[in-house]
Amino acid sequence: MSGGLLEAAWKARQHACCAYSGFAVGAALEATDGRVFTGCNIENATYGLTVCAERVAIWKALSEGVRAFRRIAVVTHAATVTPPCGPCRQILWEFCGDIPVIAENAQGDRKIWHMHQLLPEAFDRANLK
């Protein structure tokens, strides 16, 4: 079910620029048309301008005109399965909706959440009406 997507995320992780934290992350976002957009985290000395793997994948897809998504995979070598950070949860909710998030670590531990579980009572365009 998610093997190819996880494989794409692991491959993307190899390109992470994480000299400061040493915490490499890979992500693979699947559009509803089957295309996959990958991302890795990209750090810099200011830390505040660092971009997470999930957002890199989303920006790549959006910049190509894609607006509908099926699921995302996120991978790390952490001892525990790592869900997306808070800012990534907001961006995922706004641009992808209630998609499944498949997370895996190097030990093969895996968890799957839906975005509504990771960001309950989300703020989005419906709140702006």
**pTM score, whole prediction:** 0.96
Domain spans in the chain, listed from the N-terminal domain onward: 3-128
pLDDT value of residue 1: 55
Question: Is 121 a catalytic site residue?
Answer: no
Tell me, what's the pLDDT at 3?
A: 84
Question: To which residue do tokens 């999930």 refer?
Answer: 54
The tens-digit pLDDT sequence of the chain (129 residues) is 578 999 999 999 999 999 999 999 999 999 999 999 999 999 999 999 999 999 999 999 999 999 999 999 999 999 999 999 999 999 999 999 999 999 999 999 999 999 999 999 999 999 999
Instruction: Return d(Cα 48, Cα 27) in angstroms, integer.
Output: 20
Catalytic-labelled residue, pool 7, 30, 43, 54: 54
Tokens describing residue 79: 């001892």
What topology is assigned to 3-128 in CATH? Answer: Cytidine Deaminase; domain 2 (3.40.140)
Between CA 8 and CA 18, with CA 13 as vertex, the angle to 5 degrees is: 165
